[in-house]
């Protein structure tokens, strides 16, 4: 599933327009990115945890 398909699915389930849903998704992505940029983690119970990790090659 790509971002456009996700927006379509979510918009139907929450009964918002695709544009409104896209705005929500944009803010969510931006907020997660901003939090990770501060080296903090984001935990969404029942979904997962996002955190910055150093990649060892």
Task: Looking at the chain, list the stretches that DSSP marks H as alpha helix, in order from N- to C-terminal side.
Answer: 3-14, 18-37
| Residue count (the chain) | 57
The predicted pLDDT at position 34 comes to 98
Mean pLDDT of the chain: 96
What are the residues whose beta carbons fall under 8 Å from the beta carbon of 20, sequence distance 6 or more? Answer: 11
Residue ranges for the chain with pLDDT beneath 50: none
Separation in Å, CA 36 to CA 14, 15, 19, 21, 41: 27, 30, 26, 23, 6
Paired with 48 in beta bridges are 44
CB 21 within 8 Å of CB 10: yes
């Amino acid at each position: 599933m790509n971002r456009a398909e996700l927006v379509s699915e979510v918009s139907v389930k929450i009964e918002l327009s695709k544009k409104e849903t896209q705005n929500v998704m944009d803010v969510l992505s931006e907020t997660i990115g901003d939090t990770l940029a501060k080296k903090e983690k984001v935990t969404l119970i029942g979904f997962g945890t996002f955190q910055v990790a150093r990649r060892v090659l």
